[in-house]
Structure 1
């Protein structure tokens, strides 16, 4: 028997035991002469009384002791015993005319539900033989009793018909149940796959029900919002910015929501909404996308266009600039040139070198290779960077390293990170306090408490940046230094964005600057 039938067998057996106990109780009641007066004419009242009480006691014991029996042998013996005792009661009640032969239909039917194949048909054969033999023996013992061989023969045929019908019906039910269970298993497996896909998606997904309660969310949504998502929590508890954009969408669905930051240093998130109508409640499906990735793609297109343009312009400028510089150099070597004109040639040389440096920087920007991120232990990498930087810098330039703990990792291109940090450190040393004989800057590495994002700060205690210059420091070609190109911080931010990191400026009090790099989570795929 299949597992599905086995699961239903205890329930059917309990009902069968209950039926036999109730039947035995009813048969025992008919042992009372007053109760059966006018209802039943017994051929052997004494035998009927003994058989009825035995039938009741036996079935009570079976119901108590064998209510959990699942073996085919136990079930077969119970059915045979039932047929045997009901056959004796059939004989004592007067044979075919009493109608007790119909009571054998139930054990035959139940036996063919619980037992299949030939063993089920054997029960029908035993029941048929029992009533035929008892009818024949009854006519010999009591010649006055009417012969009901035809009725008994028809009843025996009914036993076999019931056995075959029940077997066919139970077989179909088992097949249907097996198919239903297979389909349920397939649906459960498909649901698990869907859940796995949803939880592994890089797009954050949140399902919001009535009263803005969170019904479901995936892992990417929790990472973007920077906090665990608990089923049933209000959307305002999760993200106030997201709740505001949800209300805005409900009022005017045609207006595209603006991106938002859920916490300081968090990723810039773009939210999109889709209504879902279900039978139980109105739900909203929220898609969260990391806007830095979209900005990164746009930036790549912008840089590609800028690279083609600057490469052609730089080529056209570089040759005339070289001729101007060479001519100024020859002119400065002339002995007949006045001192004032010598100063003019030096100015020409100085600005030619500056322009050439700008051209080289622009060409480097246009030829920049794509980032190749890899998992990096920032603590170990910084120790190596500080050693290499100090070896190539003057002795008065010092880098102090402060690492909050071991094992701080992120996914970043080490070569591009080295470019960014080298540029930030040299800028910090250039503008740091010159009153001390040593110029010191601090590198501080830690994990943000709320989002657990790796963060690196480059800190100096120089004069700082004037407030009017702060909004423009990351713009290309913007500089306050006479010999600067205005591309250092711009390129540094571009390199950070290509690695899904953010470069931000924060003033230090009472003086100084802090350049903060917030890296991507190490589990995020770039």
Structure 2
């Protein structure tokens, strides 16, 4: 028998023994009642009343004593001795009651059956053999001591055969039950293991998983969902309170499931999220499964496609534009050196030179963007990096330019390419100084490095106190070639955002009261691979 089957039997032994001892105590009381001649008259005709009375009372006393002392399952030897004792005592009562004619031989079926429930194999089949021997021997001995009592050896043999049949039947049924229980336990363990594995997979998924009930309360969620929404999602909380933007998308989907929802930000500085919904079960009024995806990777893939297209475009037009542009610029230089030109014509040549240089800067910037090497992110201490950056930046600018910095604490880490970060922050600081005043005048910008209180993500802000960005320009400042200056190329902020997205960081623009502009970089978590 397998170990699992043995353990199952051991766990059921106390209960089976309690029921068996309850039966034996009740049987003992019933047998002792028949020791009274008044109660026995017309029911049982005993051959030896004195032996019957003593055996019945001893049987009752032993059963009560065993029932009171039985607190746990016994070993196979104990169970075998108990069954043998039961067969022996019932055999004595069978003899005193008059043998086969009394019908007490049927009482031996119960200990044989119970013994084979708890004891299997050869030791179990030993019990019907002992019961059969006891029955036949006592029948033969009774025929010698009480010849006037008719004895039927055929009935004794039939009872013996019944004992063996019951033992084998019980063993067979018990074995099948044990195998069924083992199979059920293995399947239950397999289902539990599968459920645990599914839970682990769901918790480790980068896709946010959220189950919402029909009244829009949170049923369950994984870690990725909490990280994307920037807050814990306690079970039973209202979705409207913890994620109003997501709740709004859910209502839109419920009104028209065929319309694809728009992306959203769960909080300031949060990732751009896309929500997909699917009802659980056939009833659309039941729970709803919500999938949250971070559009960062999609944006990176789109960026790579844009860069590839831009690279092919610039490669094809560089030769067609730069050569004529160089010829125009060279011709303007030659005209500017001529003594025959009037002052008005010289001014026109200067305009040609200025716009030629501007067009050349645009081409150089686009070529630099298309040829940009892939990012090489590494674990970076932003506090140390910011201090080193400010030291170099201040040294390259006049003393009239003031850069204040506030670092919340040391050891703020992220994963990013330090060279690309230098390019981004340098461009943002240059823009902030340019909008803070004219060169040579006192200009002040402010840098702030901290951990966002909601997401615990590293955040760097570059703040100026200039005129700020007009509301009609806020949605376009990160678009390529969009500029509000005549001398600008409109690619600085676009390239900065592209560099941030390639490192899974986010660049956003926000206004500052009463006036000014804040460029905010939200970096990736240091444990997140870029």
- TM-score with structure 1 length normalisation? 0.93
Once the two structures are superposed, residues 443-467 of structure 1 have per-residue CA deviations (whole angstroms, 9 ceiling, x without a partner) of 2111222222321101123343444
Counterpart residue number, 2:273: 269
Counterpart residue number, 1:122: 126
Counterpart residue number, 1:429: 433
1:301 pairs with 305, 310, 330, which one?
305
Cα distance, 1:311 vs structure 2: 2.9
Q: Is the 8 A contact 1:448 1:454 kept in 2?
A: yes
1:57 pairs with 34, 45, 61, which one?
61
Alignment of 1:195 with 2:199, yes or no, is yes
Counterpart residue number, 1:456: 460
Once the two structures are superposed, residues 248-275 of structure 1 have per-residue CA deviations (whole angstroms, 9 ceiling, x without a partner) of 3222222222222222222222221112
Once the two structures are superposed, residues 270-327 of structure 1 have per-residue CA deviations (whole angstroms, 9 ceiling, x without a partner) of 2211122179983222111123433333333233223322332233111111122222
CA distance in structure 2 between the partners assigned to 1:58 and 1:410 by the alignment? 78
Q: Is the 8 A contact 2:13 2:73 kept in 1?
A: no
2:106 pairs with 97, 102, 109, which one?
102
Alignment of 1:41 with 2:45, yes or no, is yes
Cα distance, 1:395 vs structure 2: 4.6
Cα distance, 1:360 vs structure 2: 0.4
CA distance in structure 1 between the partners assigned to 2:103 and 2:303 by the alignment? 93
2:445 pairs with 441, 444, 461, which one?
441
Q: Which runs of 5+ in 1 are unaligned?
A: none
Relative distance call for 1:487 and 1:279 in structure 2 (3 A) is closer
CA distance in structure 2 between the partners assigned to 1:478 and 1:80 by the alignment? 100
2:330 pairs with 303, 326, 330, which one?
326
Relative distance call for 1:84 and 1:189 in structure 2 (3 A) is same
Q: Is the 8 A contact 2:458 2:522 kept in 1?
A: yes
Relative distance call for 1:391 and 1:146 in structure 2 (3 A) is farther
CA distance in structure 1 between the partners assigned to 2:37 and 2:171 by the alignment? 40
1:225 pairs with 222, 229, 232, which one?
229
Q: SS at the partner of 1:215?
A: strand
CA distance in structure 1 between the partners assigned to 2:355 and 2:216 by the alignment? 62
Alignment of 1:179 with 2:176, yes or no, is no
Aligned residues: 526
Alignment of 1:19 with 2:23, yes or no, is yes
Relative distance call for 1:253 and 1:126 in structure 2 (3 A) is same
Q: Is the 8 A contact 1:13 1:67 kept in 2?
A: no
The within-5 A match list for 1:67-466 is 67-277=71-281, 282-433=286-437, 439-466=443-470
Q: Is the 8 A contact 1:95 1:134 kept in 2?
A: yes
Alignment of 1:477 with 2:481, yes or no, is yes
222-231 vs 243-252, which moves further: 243-252
Once the two structures are superposed, residues 25-56 of structure 1 have per-residue CA deviations (whole angstroms, 9 ceiling, x without a partner) of 22222222232221111112222222222222
336-345 vs 151-160, which moves further: 336-345
CA distance in structure 2 between the partners assigned to 1:73 and 1:130 by the alignment? 20
2:511 pairs with 507, 515, 526, which one?
507
323-332 vs 44-53, which moves further: 323-332
Q: Which runs of 5+ in 2 are unaligned?
A: none
Cα distance, 1:378 vs structure 2: 2.3
CA distance in structure 2 between the partners assigned to 1:15 and 1:278 by the alignment? 47
Relative distance call for 1:512 and 1:370 in structure 2 (3 A) is same
Q: Is the 8 A contact 2:101 2:151 kept in 1?
A: no
Once the two structures are superposed, residues 318-355 of structure 1 have per-residue CA deviations (whole angstroms, 9 ceiling, x without a partner) of 11111222222233334554444444333332322221
Once the two structures are superposed, residues 195-225 of structure 1 have per-residue CA deviations (whole angstroms, 9 ceiling, x without a partner) of 1111111111122233233222221111112
CA distance in structure 2 between the partners assigned to 1:503 and 1:329 by the alignment? 41
CA distance in structure 2 between the partners assigned to 1:363 and 1:409 by the alignment? 32
